[in-house]
């Protein structure tokens, strides 16, 4: 296993070219947030916007549109029950994020199938939370696209068939190879399984053990892969590293870190990183 | 009566173990907030999230879901009229908080009975506000669980039958003993009646005399007992002490303290406390 | 005309007694905010809460309840179309504020009449905005209570029959005397007509020339008269003075002052004032 | 092409006269924000309010009213489907802003036609986003008023018939002359075509390449032209310059700039500018 270091940040987060516009930074379509779990998709969307994606659209239950716009007017809204509209938003997206707060009932399943039916090979597709559970339970085929799974250990058990206690690097790698997807296995010292390499994250803090932390990570992977689309793999690694690096900084002064604090800190954090390793100051929030 | 001191903070608020996850810090299910009093359950939920509970779900009137997610995407939502869903959220909770903004009409009563029917001996059940009034008025049996009442003096009069002017330590203790519950009697110099001991809080400020302050305390007791579940009693005492300690700090610069300010200050406050008595700096907000 | 000075702040804003609770600081019921002007009653309610009133309830159009709780969970909500509920909230109030964003259609009128039918001699009744226009247009009798009008010059023209260009101290005083009410005539150098005296405010800034500034003043008068209920007149004067004093401080660094900034600054401002004239520091926000 | 410099700020942003009131600073009516794009009109409205316009009303889809008031109680709400109400809000406005998030379906078109039918020669009419697209697609006649278009290059292609690659100063100027309108052509180094002159903006940052940035600009042009109504052209230029000047300042510390941050920074920025060129401090946010 290869240790993921802050070098990934300097490789990925570069100064933006002057002659760029929002189209340069990709489109993210997020799908999730049923009537009960609206906060999850709002947190994921906040992460995508604050990461710097050019355009962000959130397809969710209509009961969440007011709260979405209250916090995040930058995101556009779609009713996730409107299959045609969701399809029209999935198709042109640079990255699709599906799962945060989606739920696992019949409606959730229909929405997930609709999303899966409209992705294509050129897209990044981040599959998170209940979308993973549904795939496993319903034995859904993996959709087209550059697939990135962001399971916690129980979700990985469901998807891979490997019990948590049996989840070794070798076994995980074997399933990853069969899937041909990137797997961000969230745990103490998160592991990232890719076609070429297995990475381990050695930073992070127990102050991150708070509901919504994973939704935020999924949204960041969405935002980074859309914005830094030349290398979705490096973008994913940079998102995973940034998520915990920002949390560590906040946790210096806080017992817990609220997920939205990570998202809201990203613009300042990423500015420090674009200057490159030798120039940035440790302790960006101070 | 034993004076409650800041020692309780150092006893309870310890550095989080590295290998912990959100499941380590418990589940809180809060039930309350009718169409008129939605703010109460939002404030209680904010307190529970900011205290550091692992997962927080708020069962409330549907008209409050937008405002809940606008402020607190970390909390999940449930319709408190859906008896089956509420039951399914009460049963696995580490702590149930019922009462803030619940109201006292027929709907409120039905919801309260449903909650009481689904708690179990292993849970903490915080009974606050109109839930106490309803229990007294309807002569409801005390539910299963480690019961923690958080009445103000009038609510205690209703529950205990002791008039405010007659509420002496001895009489209060006698009723507490019959109930076998913890009673946090909110007043100038709040008193906490437990099976073994009566504690008195000697800190606090009249800047706390603001609507919503009690809802915030109930939410903090909910959050602390879920997070520090090894000793729910100590967790309760730490929540009560923290509530006023934070308020005192804020009140150094403010004529009144708004309840959400206490909640939002908790992550910083608790970080200072985990370092232990000799190391933390007085004046944590400066 | 007597110049209103900062002495009124030291006379009114005193340290809170230790053994006080939220009931000590009164109840404010605000009525207004139709479907179009919901922001007005939200701004007024924010002012009342931040002034330090003990309990604040906002009766408004149901479409505003989500936005109210999103910003101000401390306030309770009522549907202003529910005449019985509004009556039950008006009757026990220390101060009723009616008018901000109420509108002037048939619904507005019915609501206003209902409010006026339920006030009593012991209450403060702040009549603002469209409530003044409706009173004049419909020739409504002045309700029971200690009446405080907060008109701008055009609204005062409608109520008093004195054209703006003819609004002299003498003429205004004569109408005030007939009304037996306090009149806060909002203008450059606001004038306050009382039974005994005419006061003039000589502070303030054109940065206050922003929509919602008057709604905030009405809410502050509501909050101050409930909280400092021993002398509603002095409380009114202190509210008027504080409103512009805070605005002046903010305007040192801002081209315009947003109304909610005044409200949110009140807890810090009032803390400085409670120390008394010789002790407080000029420049409270620095 | 003439370089637009910071001199425009000192020409336009002057200290407010003491004896001014909100009516002095004009009325802005914004129309846009369908069910999907509510954030756009909220961002535009926030910009108008923070620019310092006296009164701001937002006509939008009813599903957006809660989020509007949650963030911006200073703005009034109208249902953009109510043609009579929209007409009654367009007619007295100093400036009408139409387009942000309006969409391009049949409903959008009907609303746009209704707005265009009620403007008059004395008003400023800012036409943005989908309103431009609809005008081009439906071949709508330009409405009465001082027209200000704020297209990006593709929208300008649709309106002018000049392909993006062919958009030269000369060709653009020719179409502008035919329109008799001001054209703010948003691009890297935005160009402003007016009857007399072509201006170029040489400041700005790729950190502005974020969804919602254009909505914010449209709202600022709306706010500035209403507030500084003596010279709508100069006001427009000052709005364009301020938008990027503020963004540059924020971008010193952030990888991206969120649109609402520009709006919320305006009161402080404009205060610095009113002091005049020699007196203001560079680095206003520090």
**Per-residue model confidence as pLDDT tens digits over D160-188:** 999 999 999 999 999 999 999 999 999 99
Give residue A13's pLDDT: 97
| Chain D residues within 8 A of B66 when measuring between CB atoms | 66
Any C CB within 8 A of B206 CB: yes
Any C CB within 8 A of D174 CB: no
d(CA C244, CA C266): 11
d(CA A116, CA B65): 29
Residue D76 has pLDDT above 70, yes or no: yes
Q: Please count the residue pairs, one from chain A and one from chain B, whose beta carbons lie less than 8 angstroms apart.
A: 110
* pLDDT per position as a tens digit, D82-128: 999 999 999 999 999 999 999 999 999 999 999 999 999 999 999 99
| Chain A residues within 8 A of D207 when measuring between CB atoms | 16
Regarding predicted confidence, which is higher, A273 or B280? Answer: A273
In chain A, beta strands by DSSP E: 2-4, 27-31, 55-60, 76-79, 95-98, 124-128, 146-150, 182-185, 191-193, 198-201
| Helix locations, B81-204, DSSP H | 83-90, 106-116, 130-138, 153-160, 169-179
Give residue A278's pLDDT: 60
Any D CB within 8 A of A66 CB: yes
Which of left, alpha, beta for D114 (phi over 0: left; psi -120 to 50: alpha)? alpha
Q: Over chain B, what is the mean pLDDT?
A: 95
* pLDDT per position as a tens digit, B267-281: 999 999 998 876 555
Residue A69 has pLDDT above 70, yes or no: yes
Distance from CA of C38 to the nearest CA of D (A): 7
φ and ψ at B37, to 5 degrees?
-115, 40
Q: Is D186 annotated as a binding residue?
A: yes
Helix axes A259-274, A38-51, angle to 10 degrees: 10
State the chains in contact with B (3 or more Cβ–Cβ pairs under 8 Å).
A, C, D
d(CA A176, CA A196): 10
Residue D286 has pLDDT above 50, yes or no: no
Q: Which of D38, D188, D258 sits opposite A77 (nearest CB)?
A: D38
| Alpha-carbon Rg for chain C in angstroms | 17
Contact A35 B76 (CB under 8 A): no
> Tokens at residue C163, please?
């054209």
d(CA C261, CA C285): 12
Query: Which three-class secondary structure state does DSSP give residue A279?
Result: coil
Is the ipTM above a cut-off of 0.90? yes
Residue C21 has pLDDT above 90, yes or no: no
With beta carbons less than 8 A apart as the criterion, state whether C197 and D9 touch. Answer: no
Contact C76 B213 (CB under 8 A): no
Residue C285 has pLDDT above 50, yes or no: no
pTM over 0.90: yes
Interface test with A, best of B23, B50, B66, B69 (most A CBs within 10 A): B69
With beta carbons less than 8 A apart as the criterion, state whether C59 and C81 touch. Answer: no
Give residue D264's pLDDT: 98
Contact B36 C78 (CB under 8 A): yes
Give residue B19's pLDDT: 85
* pLDDT per position as a tens digit, A6-59: 999 999 999 999 988 888 999 999 999 999 999 999 999 999 999 999 999 999
Query: Which three-class secondary structure state does DSSP give residue B202?
Result: coil
Which residue in D146, D117, D110, D112 sits closest to D130, CA to CA?
Answer: D112
d(CA B133, CA B152): 11
- Assign A275 a pLDDT band (cuts: 50, 70, 90): confident
φ and ψ at A132, to 5 degrees?
-70, -45
Distance from CA of D160 to the nearest CA of A (A): 21
Residue C8 has pLDDT above 80, yes or no: yes
Query: Nearest-5° angle of CA D39, CA B71, CA B275?
Result: 135
Distance from CA of D67 to the nearest CA of B (A): 9
Residue of chain C with shortest Cα separation from A64: C66
* pLDDT per position as a tens digit, C71-104: 999 999 999 999 999 999 999 999 999 999 999 9
Distance from CA of D72 to the nearest CA of B (A): 14
Q: Is B219 annotated as a binding residue?
A: no
> Tokens at residue D268, please?
């402080």
CA distances, C274 to each of B222, B247, B286, C262, C279 (Å): 35, 18, 21, 18, 9
Contact C49 B258 (CB under 8 A): yes
Query: Which residues, including other chains, have CB under 8 Å from residue B38's CB and lie 6 or more apart?
Result: B60, B61, B63, B64, B67, B68, B101, C65, C69, C73, C77
Give residue D172's Cα distance to chain centre. Answer: 20
Distance from CA of A217 to the nearest CA of B (A): 14
Any A CB within 8 A of C206 CB: no
d(CA C191, CA C53): 25
Residue B285 has pLDDT above 50, yes or no: no
Regarding predicted confidence, which is higher, A278 or A170? Answer: A170
Among all chains, which residue has been given the structure tokens 């009409």? B105
With beta carbons less than 8 A apart as the criterion, state whether D40 and D212 touch. Answer: yes
Q: Please count the residue pairs, one from chain A and one from chain C, whose beta carbons lie less than 8 angstroms apart.
A: 4
| Chain B residues within 8 A of A67 when measuring between CB atoms | 65-70, 73
Mean pLDDT in residue range A222-231: 97
Any C CB within 8 A of D38 CB: no
d(CA C227, CA C240): 15
Q: Which of C36, C67, C188 sits opposite D78 (nearest CB)?
A: C36
Q: Over chain D, what is the mean pLDDT?
A: 95
Q: Which of C64, C211, C253 sits opposite D271 (nearest CB)?
A: C253
Give residue C278's pLDDT: 60
* pLDDT per position as a tens digit, B146-180: 999 999 999 999 999 999 999 999 999 999 999 99
| Chain B residues within 8 A of D66 when measuring between CB atoms | 66
Q: Which of D20, D69, D267 sits opposite C209 (nearest CB)?
A: D20
Residue C267 has pLDDT above 80, yes or no: yes
Distance from CA of A73 to the nearest CA of C (A): 15
Any D CB within 8 A of A38 CB: no
Q: How many residues does chain A have?
A: 286
Q: Please count the residue pairs, one from chain B and one from chain C, whose beta carbons lie less than 8 angstroms apart.
A: 109
Give residue A176's pLDDT: 98
Which residue in A59, A54, A71 sits closest to A29, CA to CA?
Answer: A59
Which residue in A91, A86, A133, A76 sits closest to A114, CA to CA?
Answer: A86
Q: What percent of chain C has pLDDT over 90?
A: 94
């Amino acid at each position: 296993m290869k240790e993921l270091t802050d070098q990934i940040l300097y490789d990925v987060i570069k100064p933006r070219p002057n002659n760029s516009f929002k189209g340069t930074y990709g489109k993210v379509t997020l799908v999730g947030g049923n009537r009960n779990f609206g906060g999850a998709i709002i947190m994921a969307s906040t992460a995508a916007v604050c990461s710097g994606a050019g355009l962000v659209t959130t397809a969710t239950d209509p009961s969440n549109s007011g709260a979405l716009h209250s916090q995040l007017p930058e995101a556009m809204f779609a009713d996730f029950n409107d299959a045609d509209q969701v399809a029209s938003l999935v198709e042109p997206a640079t990255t699709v994020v599906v799962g945060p707060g989606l739920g696992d009932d019949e409606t959730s399943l229909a929405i997930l199938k609709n999303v899966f039916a409209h992705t294509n090979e050129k897209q990044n597709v981040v599959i998170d939370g209940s979308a993973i559970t549904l795939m496993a339970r319903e034995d859904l085929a993996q959709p087209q696209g550059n697939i990135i799974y962001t399971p916690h250990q129980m979700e990985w058990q469901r998807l891979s068939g490997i019990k948590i206690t049996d989840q070794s690097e070798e076994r995980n790698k074997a399933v990853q190879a069969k899937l041909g997807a990137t797997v961000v296995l969230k745990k103490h010292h998160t592991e990232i399984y890719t076609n070429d390499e297995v990475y381990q994250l050695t930073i992070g803090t127990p102050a991150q053990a708070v509901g919504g932390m994973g939704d935020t990570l999924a949204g960041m992977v969405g935002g980074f892969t859309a914005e830094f689309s030349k290398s979705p793999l490096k973008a994913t690694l940079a998102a995973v590293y940034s998520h915990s690096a920002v949390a560590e900084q906040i946790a210096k002064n806080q017992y817990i870190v609220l997920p939205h604090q990570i998202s809201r800190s990203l613009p300042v954090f990423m500015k420090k990183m674009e200057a490159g390793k030798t120039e940035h100051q440790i302790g960006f929030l101070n």
